[in-house]
A = this chain, B = another copy of it.
Amino acid sequence: MSPPFIANADVSPVNAASPPVIGRVASVYSDVQSHRIDQPLPFPSVLKNPFKIVDGLPSSSAGNPGEIAKLFPCLFAQPSALLLPNYSSSVQVNKNLKIGVVLSGGQAPGGHNVISGLFDYLQDHAKGSTLYGFKGGPAGIMKCKYVELTAEFIYPYHNQGGFDMICSGRDKIETPEQFKQAEETAQKLDLDGLVVIGGDDSNTNACLLAENFRSKNLRTRVIGCPKTIDGDLKCNEVPTSFGFDTACKIYAEMIGNVMVDARSTGKYYHFVRLMGRAASHITLECALQTHPNITIIGEEVAAKKLTLKNVTNYIVDVISKRFELGYNYGVILIPEGLIDFIPEVQQLIAELNEILAHDIIDEDGLWKKKLKTQSYHLFEFFPQAIQEQLLLERDPHGNVQVAKIETEKMLIQMVETELEKRRQEGAYNGGQFKGQSHFFGYEGRCGLPTNFDSTYCYALGYTAGALLQGGKTGLISSVGNLAAPVEEWTAGGTALTSLMDVERRHGKFKPVIKKAMVELDGEPFKKFALLRDEWAIENCYISPGPIQFVGPASNVINHTLLLELGAKA
């Protein structure tokens, strides 16, 4: 390090030669972290007492059952499993198990508790078992990189955010060689089971792995767990993915603060872009929690085939109306993936990719003549900075990088331009428009999990252990009845194949768990649609405040889940 910054120049870097510390040390925790570690969690009754696993009816698939049956000959049509009280039996099956666990994909608050729950299941029901944590995601399985998880190792992560206990990764087990590597690891560690904690892709992968192990007559069973802050992995039996509750509450806290600031200052429009590229669940949930003036839901934009001009006009119309009512401020929520939902943008980008691959972008703009009329007008409609981004930011394949576009800043510029145009035309004579941009993303992926996520995750992990011990494979751990008190939650497993459909890729059918998008006839969207006009012109802002872990405000569940479960939120 440079001398100017070293306070005591003779102090050599502390422990420079020591190896990196592995794992966390609870002694350096904040007060809140420390308090969370030992905070007891409520626990579903069915998991507290002796239970038996009961199979349901044979399952089908979300679509194309014929193709799914071909892709999963061993596992297709598996029934769901439900844990039920078994008071007659007090005998514990106490065979030692060897289980692996892996975190796959982006972080979500609560992942550590899934592992805690799984570990405790093994302690409670299969004492002497071994739990291996594969390091750095699925690559850890393929490379057989793991750590043996002990009570001491796990303890500091209890109720803590992040995935750093064993870290995560985005690799997939796809090729025959990779499946072979996974088999080798399973055999080397003599695994009875593997728990894959991940999103839609990772759970699809988990099912392929389960099928592969079963087809090879390996005894390693595979159970998935539903993880993603985006909230787009869910179905009837898996009412929500973990992390969504915490992430939304963290974003909603910030949005609520910005709203109070907007109202206090009276001169800014805050454009808040929220994480969630594929589905707009986070944006919708944050809207239900905070009541912003404007919320753009990607799925609605796509369904109504709206253009960027439509979206801009809608925002400008609300701003004009608000100015008439005496408000020159507001808060606007935008999903990260907004422009992916706009058909005309997709078209422009496809044309640009083609042109960029084959033509020279001349300074005089003659290249633009190659654009179709609609795309040409859209390109010209973009602010200059966005035009440059579209032409300059390319991925390694030379394609336009849509993900790098700061949609919130783009919209601010478009709104500015449109307001100015209307002002020139005499159609707007309001105050000066000042936009402030925000992106809330990384702040929400690794926060301390809420009481809901902590409890839900622990139950998911505990249930996964039960399913593995019960000989199940190819199921996703399913904890239900979530609107009821925790004691009444249900536990079981759902056939992963029942969540699947196929997609045609490179001439082949690939199995996919379809992302659960915001449904325009679903209760959360309907509630939002009913209220948004009031929110637009009045100031119905709600400030959810920081997540509380104790006290009366600590056990609120997110609106989306409650509304989908039919409860009043």
Contact = CB atoms under 8 A, between A and B. Distances in A.
Interface of A: 1-2, 4-8, 11, 13-16, 20-21, 28-36, 107, 136, 160-164, 167-168, 250, 253-254, 256-258, 260-261, 263-266, 268, 270, 289, 291, 300, 304, 306, 310, 313-314, 317-318, 321, 325-327, 436, 438, 442-448, 526, 529-530, 532-534, 536-540, 542-553, 556
B257 A444 contact: yes
Contact of A551 (B35, B107, B317, B526): B35
A7 B529 contact: yes
B264 A107 contact: yes
Contact of A548 (B107, B256, B442, B550): B550
A557 B468 CA distance: 47
Contact of A30 (B256, B263, B268): B256
Nearest to A291: B28
A184 to B, nearest CB: 25
Nearest to A295: B5
A35 B553 contact: yes
A240 to B, nearest CB: 20
Contacts of A265: 107, 167-168
A548 to B, nearest CB: 6
B14 A538 contact: yes
24 contacts: A1-B318, A4-B306, A5-B532, A7-B530, A8-B529, A16-B325, A20-B325, A20-B539, A21-B538, A21-B539, A31-B552, A31-B556, A35-B553, A36-B545, A136-B266, A160-B260, A164-B260, A164-B263, A164-B264, A167-B264, A257-B447, A438-B442, A448-B545, A548-B550
A540 B539 CA distance: 43
A401 to B, nearest CB: 14
A258 B551 contact: no
Contact of A33 (B32, B445, B542, B551): B542
B442 A270 contact: yes
Contacts of A313: 2
Given A2-B314, A30-B544, 11 more contacts: A2-B310, A7-B532, A13-B533, A13-B537, A15-B534, A32-B546, A107-B261, A162-B261, A253-B447, A258-B446, A550-B550
Contact of A542 (B13, B29, B539, B550): B29
A28 B257 contact: no
A30 B542 contact: yes
B254 A443 contact: yes
A448 B7 CA distance: 37
Nearest to A537: B13
**Chain copies in complex:** 2
B553 A31 contact: yes
B317 A33 contact: no
Contacts of A314: 1-2, 4-5
A485 to B, nearest CB: 17
Nearest to A29: B542
B257 A446 contact: yes
Q: Which of A30, A321, A532 has the most CB of B within 10 A?
A: A30
A443 B261 CA distance: 8
A397 B143 CA distance: 62
A321 B530 contact: no
A253 B109 CA distance: 14
Contacts of A310: 2, 4
Nearest to A448: B545
A533 B14 contact: yes
Nearest to A166: B264
B260 A32 contact: no
A263 B533 contact: no
Contacts of A317: 1-2
A163 B326 CA distance: 18
Given A264-B107, A550-B548, A321 B254 contact: no
Contacts of A318: 1
A220 to B, nearest CB: 26
A548 B546 contact: yes
Contacts of A325: 16, 20
Given A4-B306, A537-B16, A542-B28, A551 B553 contact: no
Q: Which of A14, A264, A313, A442 has the most CB of B within 10 A?
A: A264
A31 B7 CA distance: 47
Contacts of A1: 314, 317-318, 321, 533, 536
